[in-house]
A and B are shown apart, each in its own frame.
Chain A
Amino acid sequence: MPDPNQKRTNSALWLGLLITVLGPLSNFLYYSKVSAAVLPWLNLAIPPAGLLLVLIGVARAFREPQLYGGKIVGSIFTVLATLLFAGSVWLFIHVRDVPRSAGAPQVGQSVPNFTLPDSTNQPVSLAQLFSAEPGTAQPKALLLVFYRGYW
């Protein structure tokens, strides 16, 4: 019988958990300089990578219990990593569920005119947005930023 004190550390299990935790944290990278072309895929790839490592760790714990511990912890980690994996897939699909906006004004087309209240409840028209504000020159162009809202 091998000495139970000589059990090896089930590193795959812990590394897997660490990566799994990094999954949700990786969403904060959207505030960083990391390329936006890579980030969504990185967010999607991290949780399954973590889950895979956890599964390797759990398999070890059950196949070679005399060498590796982690049957219980590993099972808990597996559930956690699976949930995070499912969550990351859901998020990946959900954040891309954006309408195509095929009818939006295209480059070269005129934008529809409008008048909307500003944050002080004063009506402002598109033409008024082009008029000079106090202390500034008349703008050459507007940058219209439509956003989802603050809630």
Chain B
Amino acid sequence: MRGIQKDLPEFAAQGIRPVAISVDPPDVSEHLRQKQGYTFTFLSDPNTEVIRRYDLLHKAGGPEEHDVSRPAEFLVDRSGTVRWENFTEDIRVRPRAEQLLAAARAIQW
């Protein structure tokens, strides 16, 4: 997240809009945005409705057995088609902003 924020101008230059999605309610996301200085959009799916639709539900994966989203990244074009995606096998391992940018650069939009 921090890397995405740092490279936000580069994402914008490539025409990529980052959007973060989690089970956090809007006020928690807003708190995180304020605290970390994130300026991109954060969406809230506390009922895991959309997370389920994307088959990303990690049942009891959060603290106190809360259902959360597994980490996953998608590059989606204007037609709504997935052009690139990444599913980590280790929640500590996430793609860095430069890897996301490199993936986006390799695509003919």
Contact = CB atoms under 8 A, between A and B. Distances in A.
Interface of A: 27, 30, 36, 39-40, 95-99, 101-114, 116-121, 124, 126, 129-130, 133, 136-151
Contacts, number: 210
Nearest to A100: B87
Interface of A is mostly: loop
Contact of B30 (A98, A108, A120): A120
A143 B55 contact: no
Contacts of A143: 4, 11, 16-19, 73-76, 100, 104
B19 A129 contact: yes
Contacts of B24: 149-151
B55 A107 contact: no
Interface string B13-44: 01111111111101111111100000001111
Interface in B32-74: 32-33, 41-45, 49-51, 53-59, 61-63, 68-74
Given A30-B93, A105-B54, A148-B62, 10 more contacts: A30-B92, A105-B82, A110-B79, A120-B26, A139-B16, A142-B19, A144-B21, A148-B61, A151-B28, A151-B62
